[in-house]
Amino acid sequence: MAQPASRPVFAPWNDPAAKPLIQFKSVTKKFGEFVAIDDVTIDIFAQEFFALLGPSGCGKTTLMRMLAGFERPTKGQILLDGKDLADVPPNRRETNMMFQSYALFPHLSVWENIAFGLKRSPMPKGEIGPRVEQMLKLVRLDKFARRKPHQISGGQRQRVALARSLAKAPKLLLLDEPLGALDKKLRQDTQFELMDIQEKTGTTFLIVTHDQEEAMTVASRVAVMDHGKMIQIDTPDRIYEMPNSVYVADFIGDVNIIKGNAKPTGEGRFAISWAEGQPDIAAASGAGIAAGTPVHFAIRPEKIAISADKPADRANAVKGRIEDIAYLGNISTYKVELANGAMIKAQVANDRRLARRTFSWDDMVWLSFTDTAGVILMK
Amino acid sequence: MNRRFSWFNATSLTLGFAFLYLPMLILITYSFNESKLVTVWAGFSTKWYGELIHNEAFLDAAVVTLKVAVMSSTFATLLGTMAAYVLIRGGRFYGRTLFSGMIYAPLVMPDVITGLSLLLLFISIGLDRGIGTIVLAHTTFSMCYVSVVVSSRLATFDQSLEEAALDLGCTPFDAFRSVTLPIIAPAVISGWLLAFTLSLDDLVIASFAAGPSATTLPMKIFSSVRLGVSPEINALSTIMISIVTVGVITASLISKRSIVKQRAEEQKAVRN
Amino acid sequence: MNFRRILLIATPYAWLVALFLVPFLIVFKISLSHYAISIPPYSPVFDISAGWEGFKTFLSKLDFDNYRFLSGDDLYWKAYLSSLQIAAISTIITLVVAYPIAYGMAQANDEWRPTLMMLVILPFWTSFLIRVYSWIGILSNEGFLNQILLGLGVIDTPLAIMNTNTAVYIGIVYTYLPFMVLPIYATLEKMDGSLIEAAEDLGCTRISAFWLVTLPLSKPGVIAGCFLVFIPALGEFVIPSLLGGSQTLMIGKVLWEEFFSNRDWPVASAVAVILLVLLIIPIILFQRNEQKQREANQ
């Protein structure tokens, strides 16, 4: 998709002159012996929608709580606008947080919840009312101002929590699994709403989530974490297409991982031998890999084509028997067993209606892909 | 609740528990006092315990109290468990509101009123007062406590367990015996213990219900305490406090161990 | 409806009717009777053999004389008022003492809380009578408190606390403290900690977060605790009779004396009925509070 020429690409992380809003400098956090955050360094820029992604217990929530001021780093520095946050208590930070449980005060109405932070800010009394109204409009809850939190739905509560944390116009908004409690449909709608509000307010958002689809949808950049370490920080498309490790490739989306040994065959070209009786996989990589290096070859199922006859023009083609078909509506996933027992997943878009589908269980088929369809991973 | 334990918290807990426990500790200490004067320390002695053992009146009262407590708490547990089952699983029946009112009212009724009303009942139907009437009185008020304890357990446990038992071919009674009862057993046991303690503890209701023929330990203690502090009563109090302390600590250790064990097993099950 | 179900419902039902409801009706009836030097010491006595006519003459002899007597006599008025006052003041003191304890418990870490909980409950299992008794040795003129204060030179003459209302307050606060701590602790303990964090995140200091969030949210526990102390304290007998003095007027004590010393059963019954009427209001309020809590939890 081509961007309109008038709209420059938003990518301050590629601009060496850009000043980051948030800087983590070699931050480590220990709880007793347990290392929750292990020497993390990140820069987050103003107006970014930054996603921290990882399984539960990977340290992403701890990272966020350090920004809010509820935890202090054991080692390292966190800077906001170049100022060290170490001695700033939570109530004096220019960050606001949207809690996973929403943490709406049950004894206060929607209106009072949103006004709560404003009343404790230097804002003159007369401006609080209009500001609350403005926030209520922003999240489309004008009609529910007088209700108590238990009198509105889950999706509405989520929006009150968002309005409350945005009301003070923080420099940075922290969102802790903000959509976790919503059902799938509502989640998707809300994701777009979040992006919309982020764009409207121009606030920097930092979202913590374990849902890779959510992170990919909303974020300008995604940081994948595991066991307190940063594994990869990149834009969603690069995370998906160019994962830097088996962990990231496997965590984001569906993938076939094939273990083998690489040997160079030309300029940026490699052949990966991976199983007796199977042809080597031809693949491309920018990295210099010595002959005989053990590597992982990762390829997304949708990059693999499936056909009855051996295609002539593809760099790689293997033969197998269809073991299982999962029909998902828009796509179908075929599990194909090769002669050596390896199982390869291939995805095909269902662009034709039922009657025209050609393959069935136990059919012998050819799987094929180009030499640039997959990536070679060293770790 | 997020926990940020501060000096303020530590101070208030220390002062609070000092307030709760110092009076009892003083009592225990002075039960080992040589002197008859209870507030002057004259050296360590266990002589008041010796005198207590030979005090027939106290021993008789203690026997009466234990008899009453065992009987009334057992009856109260039976009746209270039935009442709890009726309240939670009984469905609708005529007079249900009155029934639940009669379960909860005794909990907030002043002892003097309960005692007075029962005494007037016993007199008007010409019942001879003694151990029997105390048992009746204690059963009545402690069954309400039992039913509150048991019904809170019944209310939180999943009714589909009983339905599963019925589905698998149990009669309602079988289902109660083989599924419900084992699950609510801890609540039933603590109900019994509560009823037992309430009965041991009660002075006012027993005083009304007892009549001249039976004296319980609290009645005996009350009449001697009215005359002032005595080292014998201190010794008796020490014995009672020790029994309760050992009992409560044992019970909490057992329940703690079973929770730890259960958690370990759950974790094991998850890992497998 | 099968036989077993009927039996299951009928057994506890019949027991409670016979030993709880009927005795009350008897108290009410006797409160309408007259004192008589006889056995039983009141009249009229209902004689079932006299039939319907007998019942009618029996009814005609009942009246509200005892209530008229009670309302005319200063002593009873004062006793009811001072019971209310003592119960109310000691409830407030108990709340002030109990809240920091409950708060401290809720802030303690997971390993400590079961132990702290046990420490609060333990006195409840210990004899009430003994706990009240333990204060006699502390508060009396030669008691430990006076010894310590005299020894420290804080006072010159012993404080007369024993046999005063102050001693009664101390006794009530001491014995009912667990009833106040536990419900407050329960509300604090289950409170979502992120609410406090949210308050701080939105600009509150720790102290203002306490006033604006913790305290209002612990209100149901505070209310429950207050009723749990106020209701039994109102009819208390043991504490005023052991720690209080002759000028300590509490209705439970008056009832006891009316019954055992004066043997005036009709008046004692009328005293009981009025005490019950006094209690009905707080009991209903308490039930409402509990109901509201239960609904809020659902």
ipTM of predicted assembly, 2 dp = 0.86
Question: What's the rounded mean pLDDT across residues C2-16?
Answer: 88
For residue C49, what pLDDT is reported?
A: 65
Q: Has residue C221 got a pLDDT over 80? A: yes
Among candidates B21, B93, B218 on the partner chain, residue whose Cβ is nearest the Cβ of C129? B218
Q: Has residue A5 got a pLDDT over 60? A: no
Buried b (16+ CB within 10 A) or exposed e, A203-217: bbbbbbbbebebbbb
- Distance CA(B182)–CA(B161), nearest Å, equals 12
Sheet holding A49-53, edge to edge: A95-98, A172-176, A204-209, A49-53, A221-226, A229-234
For residue A230, what pLDDT is reported?
A: 92
Domain membership of residue C62 (yes or no) is no
- The answer to whether A175 and A208 have CB atoms below 8 angstroms apart is yes
Q: What is the pLDDT of residues A101-129, one digit of tens each?
A: 899 998 899 999 999 999 888 889 999 99
Q: Give the closest-approach CA distance of B233 to chain C in angstroms.
A: 9
DSSP secondary structure letter of residue A3 = P
Put simply, the answer to whether C217 touches A165 (Cβ < 8 Å) is: no
Show the tokens assigned to A100: 């996973």
Closest listed residue to residue A95, CA positions, set A159, A173, A36: A173
Buried b (16+ CB within 10 A) or exposed e, C218-234: bebbbbbbbbbbbbbbb
With tokens 């078909």, the residue in question is A325
Put simply, the answer to whether C118 touches B245 (Cβ < 8 Å) is: no
Q: What is the pLDDT of residues A205-222, one digit of tens each?
A: 999 998 888 899 899 999
Nearest CA in chain B to C110: B3
Q: Looking at this protein, which amino acid is placed at residue B30?
A: Y
Question: What's the rounded mean pLDDT across residues B154-173?
Answer: 80
Domain membership of residue C90 (yes or no) is yes
Domains in chain C: how many in total?
1
- Distance CA(C149)–CA(C243), nearest Å, equals 20
Q: Give the closest-approach CA distance of C166 to chain B in angstroms.
A: 16
Half-sphere exposure in the Cβ direction for C260 (13 Å, CA): 16
Three-state secondary structure of C146-200 = HHHHHHHCCCCCCCCCCCCHHHHHHHHHHHHHHHHHHHHHHHHHCCCHHHHHHHH
Determine contact: C22 vs chain B, CB below 8 A. yes
Percent of chain B's residues with pLDDT above 70? 96
Interface mutation target, options A116, A160, A176, chain C, most CBs of C under 10 Å:
A116
- Distance CA(A131)–CA(B101), nearest Å, equals 51
For residue C179, what pLDDT is reported?
A: 93
Buried b (16+ CB within 10 A) or exposed e, B116-148: bbbbbbbbbeeeebebbbbbbbbbbbbbbbbbb
Give start and end residues of each alpha helix (H) in chain A. Answer: 60-68, 110-119, 125-138, 154-167, 184-201, 212-218, 236-241, 246-251
- SS3 percent helix, strand, coil of chain A, rounded to 5, is 25, 35, 40
Interface mutation target, options C187, C201, C293, chain A, most CBs of A under 10 Å:
C201
Q: Which residues of chain A have a CB within 8 Å of the CB of C212?
A: 116
pLDDT band at B3 (very low <50, low <70, confident <90, very high): low
Among candidates A68, A99, A106 on the partner chain, residue whose Cβ is nearest the Cβ of C217? A106
Q: Which residues of chain C have a CB within 8 Å of the CB of A150?
A: 296
Put simply, the answer to whether C16 touches B103 (Cβ < 8 Å) is: yes
Strands A49-53 and A221-226: parallel
pLDDT band at B62 (very low <50, low <70, confident <90, very high): very high
Q: If you write DSSP's letter for every residue of B127-188 in order, what string do you get?
A: PPPSHHHHHHHHHHHHHHHHHHHHHHHHHHS-HHHHHHHHHTT--HHHHIIIIIHHHHHHHH
Closest listed residue to residue C138, CA positions, set C242, C232, C217: C242
Nearest CA in chain B to C148: B39
Among candidates C192, C195, C203 on the partner chain, residue whose Cβ is nearest the Cβ of A117? C203
Domain membership of residue C259 (yes or no) is yes
Q: Has residue C63 got a pLDDT over 80? A: no
Among candidates B27, B82, B256 on the partner chain, residue whose Cβ is nearest the Cβ of C12? B82
For residue B269, what pLDDT is reported?
A: 67
Question: What's the rounded mean pLDDT across residues B18-29?
Answer: 92
Q: Looking at this protein, which amino acid is placed at residue C111?
A: E
Among candidates B1, B105, B245 on the partner chain, residue whose Cβ is nearest the Cβ of C191? B1
Put simply, the answer to whether C107 touches B1 (Cβ < 8 Å) is: yes
Determine contact: C11 vs chain B, CB below 8 A. yes
Q: Which residues of chain C have a CB within 8 Å of the CB of A98?
A: none
Put simply, the answer to whether C235 touches B111 (Cβ < 8 Å) is: yes
For residue A4, what pLDDT is reported?
A: 47
Q: Give the closest-approach CA distance of C177 to chain A in angstroms.
A: 27
Domain membership of residue C236 (yes or no) is yes
Show the tokens assigned to C226: 């207050």
For residue C50, what pLDDT is reported?
A: 63
With tokens 């900690």, the residue in question is C193
For residue C85, what pLDDT is reported?
A: 94
| CATH (domain of B73) | 1.10.3720.10
Domains in chain B: how many in total?
1
CATH architecture for the domain at A12-94+170-250: 3-Layer(aba) Sandwich (3.40)
Interface mutation target, options A67, A92, A93, A120, chain C, most CBs of C under 10 Å:
A120
Q: Give the closest-approach CA distance of A177 to chain C in angstroms.
A: 14
Q: Which residues of chain B have a CB within 8 Å of the CB of C11?
A: 79, 82
- SS3 percent helix, strand, coil of chain B, rounded to 5, is 80, 0, 20
Q: What is the pLDDT of residues A290-336, one digit of tens each?
A: 888 899 999 999 999 888 888 888 888 898 999 998 888 888 899 99
- Distance CA(B213)–CA(B127), nearest Å, equals 13
Q: Has residue B2 got a pLDDT over 60? A: no
Domain membership of residue C72 (yes or no) is yes
Put simply, the answer to whether C134 touches B237 (Cβ < 8 Å) is: yes
Closest listed residue to residue B240, CA positions, set B10, B19, B27, B57: B27
User: Chains with 3 or more CB pairs closer than 8 angstroms to B?
Assistant: C
Tell me, which fold does domain A254-377 have in CATH?
OB fold (Dihydrolipoamide Acetyltransferase, E2P) (2.40.50)
Can you give the residue ranges of every domain in chain A?
12-94+170-250, 254-377
Percent of chain A's residues with pLDDT above 90? 42
Put simply, the answer to whether C208 touches A164 (Cβ < 8 Å) is: no
Nearest CA in chain B to C103: B9
Put simply, the answer to whether C268 touches B233 (Cβ < 8 Å) is: no
Q: Has residue A233 got a pLDDT over 70? A: yes
Phi-psi region of A33 (alpha: psi -120 to 50; beta: other; left: phi over 0): alpha
- Is the preceding peptide bond at C40 cis, omega within 30 degrees of 0? yes
Closest listed residue to residue B145, CA positions, set B202, B97, B91: B202
Mean confidence (pLDDT) of chain A: 88
**C-alpha of A253 from chain center:** 10
Put simply, the answer to whether C177 touches B19 (Cβ < 8 Å) is: yes
Structural domain including C244 reads 68-297
pLDDT band at B271 (very low <50, low <70, confident <90, very high): low
Put simply, the answer to whether A120 touches C195 (Cβ < 8 Å) is: no
Put simply, the answer to whether C126 touches B203 (Cβ < 8 Å) is: no
Put simply, the answer to whether C231 touches B108 (Cβ < 8 Å) is: yes
Q: Which residues of chain C have a CB within 8 Å of the CB of B251?
A: none
Among candidates B4, B111, B120 on the partner chain, residue whose Cβ is nearest the Cβ of C23? B120
- The answer to whether C16 and B140 have CB atoms below 8 angstroms apart is yes
DSSP secondary structure letter of residue B37 = S
pLDDT band at A2 (very low <50, low <70, confident <90, very high): very low
Cα–Cα distances in angstroms (integers) from residue C246 to residues B32, B105, B224, C220, in the given order: 32, 31, 18, 37
Determine contact: C196 vs chain B, CB below 8 A. yes
Higher-confidence position of A25 and B107 = A25
Nearest CA in chain C to A176: C194
Determine contact: A97 vs chain C, CB below 8 A. yes
Please, what is the end-to-end C-alpha distance for chain B in angstroms?
32
Q: Give the closest-approach CA distance of B161 to chain C in angstroms.
A: 20
Put simply, the answer to whether B79 touches C238 (Cβ < 8 Å) is: no
Among candidates C192, C205, C212 on the partner chain, residue whose Cβ is nearest the Cβ of A103? C192
DSSP H/E element including A43: strand A34-44
Domain membership of residue C22 (yes or no) is no
For residue B195, what pLDDT is reported?
A: 94
Q: Give the closest-approach CA distance of B39 to chain C in angstroms.
A: 6
For residue A164, what pLDDT is reported?
A: 93
Percent of chain C's residues with pLDDT above 70? 93
> For the purposes of burial, counting CB atoms within 10 Å of the CB of A147, is it exposed (0-12), middle (13-18) or buried (19 or more)?
middle
Among candidates A70, A106, A117 on the partner chain, residue whose Cβ is nearest the Cβ of C197? A70
Among candidates C9, C135, C147 on the partner chain, residue whose Cβ is nearest the Cβ of B23? C135
Q: How many residues does chain A have?
A: 379
Q: Which residues of chain B have a CB within 8 Å of the CB of C261?
A: none
Structural domain including B120 reads 56-218
